[in-house]
Amino acid sequence: MARYLIRRLAGTLFVLLGVSAAVFTLMNTLPGDPATMLVSHFGASARDIEILREQLGLNDPFVVRFGRFVGGAVQGDLGKSFQQNRPVARILLENTGPTVRLALLAVGLAIVLGVLTGVAAAVRRGSWTDFLTMLASLLGISMPGFWLGLMLMLLFAVHLRWLPALGDQTWRGIVLPALTLALPASATIARLTRSSMLEVLREDYLRSARAKGLPERAVIFRHALRNALISVVTFVGLQFGLLLGGSVVVESLFSRQGLGQLVVAAVFARDIPIVQGWCLLVAAAYSLVNLAVDLSYALINPRIRYDAA
Amino acid sequence: METRDRVSGHRAWLVLPAFLALGITAGHAADQPLSGGDFTFGYSSSFVDTLDPHVTSQSVSHFIMTNIFDPLVYLRANGEFSPGLADSWSASADGLVWTFKLKRGVTFHDGTPFNAESVKFSFDRMVDPETKSRQAGVALRGFYDHTEVVDGNTVRIVLKKPKASFLTVISQVFFAPVSPKAVKEQGGEFGRKPVGTGPFKFAEWVQNQHVKLVRNADYNWGPPFLHKGPAYFATLTFRQIPDAGARLAALESGQVDAVDMPPTHQLERLRADPRFQVKSAPQPGMPWGWPMNVKRAPTDELKVRQAMIYAFDRAALVKNVLQGAYKPAYGPLTPVTFGYNPAVEKMYPYDPRKAETLLDEAGWKKGPDGMRAKDGKPLVIEHYVFYTTSEAEFVQAELKKVGIKSNISLQEVGTVNQVATEGIKNNLAPLPFASLDPELMSILFHSRNQGKGFNWTFHTIKEIDDLLDRGEVELDAKKRADVYGRFQVLAMENALFLPAFVRETIHVYKAPVQGVQFNRRGYDAYFHEMWWKR
């Protein structure tokens, strides 16, 4: 187990270096000059733009800039934001909390909603419940998040006035953004749960469990669901990474603080240090969540071990 | 608790008509400004970078900072100067030495006194390369020399060469004095916890969400054209809501008390709704429009460019695409800008027939499909746009009527900037800039700003360069207006700019908000002056 962990963590470092190189190259080949973007709110003369480029270190050769970035990054220094003129690490830290909270809540909601409806549909296969749940989940998957969010906002904030239209740090403010993220994810989870439950329900060990006289609820949730959950957990792991990166739409729609909004603004403004730092953070989060997912297989199904290989 | 104050305030307003009906009127009291209450403004811009006035160049930052800082002089909406932190000022005959007599008894929000030292500290900070200024330092560069402290309440700002727009430039909050103590203590974090002398003190900033300010109870040094004493609102919150639909939803569900930039197709409905009031102010500077690239065919031909302006019915654009929210534009400056020359309004009346004649004369003949060509080459305009295509599509339809084909490429703003700066692939790219002074024209039309910077026309007309150089240093206002008046005519004679419409800042306030007043920039409102009618 320990060897496996070390190997995986070392691999993560290589992933991060690769991500940095790729992002650095991409951001530097993207059309649009960061210095011009910084002054483009009021305009500046050609000479002033040149001086700003010099001040930002943009006139150094590509290799020098990349070296500076990697050298800083290993010491935990991700550079300074062009726009805010503050350390990138600090800016990312400020914005991580709200995004992680939102993503955790959305994932939690998606799992509860998705697994319950998926199980219900599988157990009553072919019934109206099954048909309606699957129809709803198809709708859920096809709806663009932006549109769904706006509809939820109009319904719950403008018409019913139950919840605020804008997300903030209170629990009431987080409900609509979390639902907007959770509903499409829960739809996929419902479909996954249903199909893997249907496979598991055919297995012999469930027949023996029933024969032993176990109540149906225990058969479904303790024995069947546990085995059906592996594919769901894999999906949720992937989804969590997506939520971290993909909160962009929801955060800007509900005007919530977070990494999504931060990075969109940074891309448009060519604030290269922020975009690089964000990519590193998301890549690291992705790797770690994937590792956690792999480790959790062993918890769900004790027959899965890691040291044998 | 502030939220509760606001809610009860609104309830009081709702029952007011009932009192009036009963004959229990408050008499004149209803028109007296009332102190108290909270106010939340939902703004459209997606990002506030920093609230350090000496660093940022963003309009939305200026909008918020206007409440936290006071400039040395105010430029009123009517174009007159008014005392700010300086009681009076004078310039030497050669325009190189500016002496400011400062107000006494002014303190920064951190309790330190405002004085000549803090003015010197602030100006030196703006031009310090370490500040990496994007507006203040850039604007001062090249002509600012140094600042002298004459005595505690007198400073002398010494310039290297005269600058006609000096007073106008420093009337912007980008040039406001900051607390030296706070800057020294906070270093790079000053822009997150700004300390100024203004009517509101900084309280809280949740990035990408809101900036909250509280009333400065000590404030009694406001400019003479606003009321004396502290602001009426107890707190002031700026809430970021980039999505136009969400912004209106927040206003209509009562989560914010005002918004900017409503979708133009909603304006009519909002104007008719008694719950709201729509306020607007025209923006000085360059109108919305397109510099024409004279380096690339076919806009390298004067007659083609002129034909494009004749063929474009700007009044119809304003009426049909913009729902009458804005006004047509005729030249490179908007009518509220210093030196605006109304002569440009008569230069290119909408005249598609004239456009056709010009194109015929230039040898662009109409084919059987109605589109024009010369020597087998079709007449095609490459048009790069970002953000929205509706104006570009309107122009496309107008040009098609006279036989010019145009291709629209929708790209993200950085790409459009780069394409237009290089000028190899495009004929048109939109470029609106707001500015208090016509000096902006140097950035957009002086040939030294080609290839890097924002002159996207690539003209080589020496007379234009000379006029722009003179405009920057001419201290006599009358002569200066003539210089820019001549420039506007010359720019349009050469058809360097395809004007479209004059933008206005549009704010929607809840009906009980009183005292709305915009500044000269047209972008900022004086929240110091506003109050809740109950």
Question: Which chain A residues in 273-292 lie under 8 Å from chain B, judged by CB atoms?
Answer: none
Q: What is the pTM of this model?
A: 0.84
- CB spacing of B255 vs A94 below 8 angstroms: no
Q: Pick from B253, B7, B240: which is nearest to A163 by CA?
A: B253
CA distances from A282 to A170, A212, B22 (A): 25, 48, 64
Average pLDDT over every residue of A83-90: 89
Q: pLDDT value at position B190?
A: 95
Pairing between β-strand B81-83 and β-strand B38-43 as defined by DSSP bridges: unpaired
How far A2 CA lies from chain B's nearest CA (Å)?
A: 40
* Least CB–CB distance from B207: residue in A95, A153, A157: A95
Q: pLDDT value at position A307?
A: 59
Query: Looking at chain A, which residue has its C-alpha nearest residue B244?
Result: A253
* DSSP conformational letter for B321: I
HEC profile of A128-148: HHHHHHHHHHHHHHHCCHHHH
* Least CB–CB distance from A40: residue in B210, B417, B449: B417
Q: pLDDT value at position B29?
A: 53
* DSSP conformational letter for B343: G
A262 close to B (CB below 8 A):
yes
Q: pLDDT value at position B318?
A: 93
DSSP result, B244-312: HHHHHHHHHTTS-SEEE---GGGHHHHHH-TTEEEEEEEPPEEPEEEEB-TTSTTTTSHHHHHHHHHH-
* Least CB–CB distance from B249: residue in A42, A45, A153: A153
Confidence of residue A169 (pLDDT cuts 50, 70, 90): low
Query: Looking at chain A, which residue has its C-alpha nearest residue B211?
Result: A257
- CB spacing of A46 vs B449 below 8 angstroms: yes
Asked if residue A136 has pLDDT above 90, the reply is no
Question: Which chain A residues in 79-118 lie under 8 Å from chain B, judged by CB atoms?
Answer: 80, 83-87, 91, 94-95
DSSP result, B77-98: TTS-EEESSEEEEEE-TTS-EE
A122 close to B (CB below 8 A):
no
Asked if residue A227 has pLDDT above 90, the reply is no
Q: pLDDT value at position B17?
A: 41
- Quote the ipTM score: 0.81
Query: Looking at chain B, which residue has its C-alpha nearest residue A37?
Result: B414
HEC profile of A267-298: HHCCCHHHHHHHHHHHHHHHHHHHHHHHHHHH
Confidence of residue A309 (pLDDT cuts 50, 70, 90): very low
d(CA B370, CA B79): 49
Enumerate residues 6+ apart whose C-beta is below 8 A from A226. Answer: A300, A301
Tokens of B377: 């080459």
d(CA B49, CA B309): 38
How far B351 CA lies from chain A's nearest CA (Å)?
A: 33
Show the low-confidence residues of chain B (pLDDT under 50): 1-28
How far B516 CA lies from chain A's nearest CA (Å)?
A: 25
- A vs B, Cβ pairs < 8 A, gives 175
Asked if residue A239 has pLDDT above 80, the reply is no
Residue B57: list chain A partners with CB under 8 A.
38-39, 41-42
Residue A161: list chain B partners with CB under 8 A.
253
Residue B240: list chain A partners with CB under 8 A.
255
Which has more confidence, A228 or B398? B398
Residue A252: list chain B partners with CB under 8 A.
46, 242-243
- CB spacing of A85 vs B52 below 8 angstroms: yes
Average pLDDT over every residue of A74-96: 88
Question: Which chain A residues in 130-159 lie under 8 Å from chain B, judged by CB atoms?
Answer: 150, 153-154, 157-158
d(CA B183, CA B193): 10
Enumerate residues 6+ apart whose C-beta is below 8 A from B78. Answer: none
Phi and psi (nearest 5°) for A163? Answer: -135, 155
Q: Judge whether A80 and A88 are in contact, CB under 8 Å.
A: yes
Enumerate residues 6+ apart whose C-beta is below 8 A from B144. Answer: B123, B127, B157, B159, B160
A58 close to B (CB below 8 A):
no
Q: Judge whether B27 and B525 are in contact, CB under 8 Å.
A: no
Average pLDDT over every residue of A270-276: 90
d(CA B208, CA A265): 10
Tokens of B153: 């309440």
CA angle B76, B81, B84 (to 5 degrees): 90
Q: pLDDT value at position A247?
A: 75
Residue of A36, A47, A48, A163 best to disrupt the B interface, most CBs of B under 10 A? A48
Q: pLDDT value at position B80?
A: 92
- CB spacing of A154 vs B249 below 8 angstroms: yes
Query: Looking at chain A, which residue has its C-alpha nearest residue B60?
Result: A41
Query: Looking at chain A, which residue has its C-alpha nearest residue B51?
Result: A84
* Least CB–CB distance from A255: residue in B141, B241, B413: B241
